[in-house]
Amino acid sequence: MRVEILGTRAHIDVSAPGHALHSGILIDDVLFDLGEREYLERRPTAIFITHFHEDHAFFVNEDVDLDVPLYGPQPWPGLPVRVMRGPVDIDGMTVSPIPTNHSAGLRSCAYLVEKDLGRVLYTGDLFSFPQRYRDRIPDVDLAIIEGSFMRRGGLVRRDPATGRSHGHAGIPDLVDLLAPLSRRIVVTHLGSWFYRDIAASVQQIERLSGDVRVTVAVDGMTLEVAVDRDV
């Protein structure tokens, strides 16, 4: 599989060269998240949305005409979203949803992408996986995680009206969670903390490497996924 990380910027006002575009990951010809209208120019054969926040789905605030299959964790007004309830086979790959905890009011999911013997996990935004799903995540060759917060624990709040928690895990938490499953982790969806000193922030993230290699994505980064685990 060929992975291209189209955008690395979280839902923030600040931006910088190489970290200016919102979420979008192209795996072969299938797009995961649609944070910018311009990603449609890549003519994906299908689009999978992790959750309907505007930095992952620009069309929540703009009109759009889509002529490709659109998948997501829940319906969305005015669009023919195919709700993910199990694996989908498309373009020689299998895409499986893994429910996540992120928003107080919207459903969200990560995606496990499998092709031939290769496996990629794209977490989207989250503060945790429900336990019953976390234990089912297999070993993967590449894990792509969010970088909204560097501090351990991230930022998680509780909605006073619903009692539901919402927010983001910290990068160290996600690395700890996924290091047993992958030898390669790439961090995207970078929060405002990252932009205060980009060079120092990159070093801080990459110092989390140990048995697993942790790297920071830039807009337009391409990766070739090679099987890097026992099969």
Measured distance CA(156)–CA(159) in Å, rounded: 10
Contact 87, 80 (CB under 8 A): no
pLDDT along the chain (231 residues), means of 10: 97 97 98 97 97 96 91 95 96 96 95 96 97 92 98 94 92 96 97 98 97 97 83 66
Q: 7 — alpha (psi -120 to 50), left (phi > 0) or beta? A: beta
Q: Within its chain, how far is the Cα of 175 from the centroid? A: 14
User: What is the bridge-based pairing of β-strands 81-83 and 88-90?
Assistant: unpaired
Contact 158, 164 (CB under 8 A): yes
**Matching CATH number, 2-224, of 3.60.15.10, 3.90.1150.10, 3.40.50.880, 3.40.630.30:** 3.60.15.10
Task: Name every residue whose Cβ is closer than 8 Å to that of residue 152 and which is 6 or more positions away in sequence.
Answer: 170, 172, 173
Is residue 20 classed exposed, middle or buried when 0-12, 13-18 and 19+ CB atoms within 10 A define those classes?
Answer: middle
pTM, two decimal places:
0.96
